[in-house]
Amino acid sequence: MDAITEPIRVITNPRQKGYRPKTWVATTGVFILMAADGVRAGVGWFGWVALFAACFFAAMILLVRSKPKNFWNRLPLPLIGLHLMMALSLTWSAYQLYSARILPLQFALTFFALFLVVRFDWRELLRIFSNVIRAILASSLLFELYAGITNQRISPLVFDNPGGNINQPSYFWSEGNIFNGERIQGIVANANTLAAIAMAGVILFGVEHMIFGVARWLSWISFALAAASIALTKSAGIGFALIAVILAGIVSIAAEGKDRDTRHRYYRLAWTGSAVVLFFVLVYREEVFTYIGKSPDMTGRSGIWKNVMQLVAQRPIQGWGWVSYWVPGVKPFKGLGVVHGVEYYQSHNAYIEVLFQLGIVGLALFVGLLAVSFVKVWRLAVRHTNPLYLWPVLLLVGLMAQNLTESRLLVEIGWVYLVLIVVKVNEPVDSLEPKGRSPKRIKLVPKRLRPFVLAKKPKE
């Protein structure tokens, strides 16, 4: 028996001292970061920063009080290297003032993620993220229903984007599209962000359902909210990411308990099948994207990538300096990502973004971090019989796939997700919950049929 599957008894007591304060701080902080665009639409950038700062300082107090032991040696070296590169890039940044402003926020996001790592186990984190996502999805649909019924576009209460025009459709809090067949934005004020939240919801709600984390009726309602949100946001990127998540889920569940040769045969089939599908999508992208109602250039993304790569060629080794969010009106960002008259402030690809801002060295550290962490969370998911440990690997797969067309992995909740997963997976084995008596795939079988599935086959 592998040590990672040995039964370990972990008891969580919601009534323990300090449980409620840390949970409220974590939940509030996660909401502020997950619904960041929507919060800024209500209180502006300075209001959003103030709200997150309050949560951050509360989280740091709780983190210090917990007196974590042997914690820093769990930080992956590529993650440390990335932060060093971000800090060092200040010396050669083409926009030093803005890099200096954003670095404290980037490091604050990292330390907030470390607070989540230290103070919560995987099950508690699942509950926090699921509850926040449920609240966002439910309120988003109600918000869009209000906009649709009243037949009005809702403008942000505070608009402090100097590079944008509040009358442009892309800058409305909601365009009231729920009844006219166009994309909805929800309370998060962004269709792609809402779709990404719904994708995370599908993963987390699915694991909740398997571990009986919530009442069955709430589980099904949550699924319905997530499915409706994905359908109404019409995000092609999330559609492809969900395919990757489903494939990863099938392979990881099927591989559990199998011998090494069988597991690796499954992996080869999955990678080969994925490569074939990707090849045909690239070759026939015009037909594929036209069929799903999208433009072959992925809504102008290919043009943005071309512009960014031209800048990468000028500073390929060290990059232009870390800033995460592009700064409106500042060179070289000004006019870099204009699509149909609307200016966007990201590369729409996290990997290109890292290459652009931190150069080849930064990209190598980033890809190395993802690769090493993926292997670790995959092993955790496959070797442990508890379905609880599926959500880290499935969420990481979804994020890596989604961020082929977005840069959200590098900011706000995306960065917190990443730091949380890559650090927490390095925790000692004795922090895991006990394994069950049956593999995870048995939990997908209806209870009435499980005795027949688990029945021993007669010896020949």
Domain ranges in the chain are 3-454
Q: Which residue has the higher pLDDT, 294 or 85?
A: 85
Please give the backbone phi and psi of residue 95, each rounded to the nearest 5 degrees, phi first: -145, 65
Q: Are 82 and 366 in contact (CB under 8 A)?
A: yes
Residue 10's pLDDT band (cuts 50, 70, 90): very low
Residue 459's pLDDT band (cuts 50, 70, 90): very low
Q: Is the pLDDT of residue 404 over 70?
A: yes
Residue of 166, 167, 165, 189 lying closest to 177 (CA atoms) = 189
Model pLDDT, residue 2: 44
**Residue 151: exposed, middle, or buried by beta-carbon count in 10 A (0-12, 13-18, 19+)?**
exposed
Contacts for 150-155 with beta carbons within 8 Å, 24 or more apart?
A: 150/176, 151/176, 152/176
Q: Which position has the token pair 């939990």?
A: 443
Half-sphere exposure of 318 (CA within 13 A, CB side): 11
Residue 28's pLDDT band (cuts 50, 70, 90): very high
Task: Say which residues have a Cβ less than 8 Å from residue 456's Cβ, sequence separation at least 6.
Answer: none
Model pLDDT, residue 335: 82
Model pLDDT, residue 356: 96
> What's the CA gap between 417 and 448, in Å, rounded?
37
List, for residues 324-373, the tens digit of each pLDDT value.
Answer: 989 888 889 888 887 777 788 889 999 999 999 999 999 999 999 999 99
List, for residues 216-244, the tens digit of each pLDDT value.
Answer: 899 999 999 999 999 999 998 899 999 99
List, for residues 371-393, the tens digit of each pLDDT value.
Answer: 999 999 999 999 888 999 999 99
Model pLDDT, residue 5: 41
Q: Spell out a b/e string for 251-285, using b for 16 or more CB atoms within 10 Å of the CB, else e.
A: bbbbbbbeeeeebeebeeebeeeeeeeeeeeeeee
pTM as predicted = 0.91
CA 223 to the chain's CA centroid: 18
Q: Is the peptide bond before 14 cis (omega within 30 degrees of 0)?
A: no
> What's the CA gap between 290 and 330, in Å, rounded?
35
List, for residues 101-114, the tens digit of each pLDDT value.
Answer: 999 999 999 999 99
